[in-house]
Amino acid sequence: MFESFCRRFFGSYCRLTVEGLDHLPATPFLLCSNHASHIDSAALMTASGRRFRRFALLGASDYFFSSPGVRWSVSPLMNVIPIDRHPGARSLESCLESCRRFLKETGGTLILYPEGTRSPDGEMQPFKTGAAFFASELGLPLVPAYIDGSHRILPKRSSVPRPGSLTVRFGKPLALSACNGESVRVHRRIIVEQLAHEIHLLSLDRHAHDLLVALEQKG
């Protein structure tokens, strides 16, 4: 029912445009995008064209599981896997085990927002290293994505979506590079910086994106 509602919602009330759909792998991957609205996860899942049950969202346990209303309504709809905002070793291992179980059972996709929280103004915030950690530990490729327009439709601290349009752009999967002598912490930061760069490229309009990519390829 939720999947059907979202497809109708993004088909008429908030018209959804999708770019780069062919970049999505058939095998499990970690989908990472900017985060500015509560509708972002539904937008990503709808844009993929895949069944919602094949997605799980890594979400803050204090938000998705502390309130009974959210715990029993929103969390099941999004297949939320809880993670502490400041996790210890035991908490991380529990989260990883839940991710492994989900991936084994569904062969699906995990959604993670590297900013760690919604942007208050629609601008991307600094990325945390969680995306690199989960991709490395779970052996998943990172797929960058950019959601353009969700902040205008349902900004932070709003509860009623406004009609409008939005675009989801999927980028090419990023293969994780091997450590070249640097510490694990530095290596993860390098991966996240690459991820942030790719998402920034996706945030540009098509002409600017192609021009910047061409310049980078030239050196």
Residue 215, pLDDT > 80, answer no
Convert the pLDDT of each residue in 74-95 to its tens digit: 667 788 998 888 778 888 999 9
How do residues 106-130 score in pLDDT, each as one tens digit? Answer: 999 999 999 999 999 999 999 999 9
In this prediction the pTM is: 0.88
Q: Are 19 and 122 in contact (CB under 8 A)?
A: no
Lowest mean pLDDT among 34-43, 65-74, 142-151, 157-166: 65-74
Q: What is d(CA 174, CA 131) in angstroms, rounded to the nearest whole number?
A: 12
Nearest Cα neighbor of 137 from 180, 169, 167, 94 is 94
pLDDT at 5 over 60: yes
Neighbouring C-beta atoms of residue 61, cutoff 10 Å: 18
So what's the pLDDT on residue 216? 65
- For residue 214, pLDDT over 60 is answered with yes
Q: Return the CATH number at 24.
A: 3.40.1130.10
Question: Rounded mean pLDDT of 136-142?
Answer: 94
The pLDDT score that the predictor gives to residue 185 is 87
**Which tokens go with 77?**
């709809």
Say yes or no to pLDDT of 212 above 70: no
Length of the chain: 219
Q: 169: Cβ–Cβ under 8 A, 6 or more apart, which residues?
A: 18, 19, 20, 145, 146, 148, 202
| Domain carrying residue 180 | 2-217
Q: What is the per-residue pLDDT for 170? A: 97
Number of domain units in the chain: 1
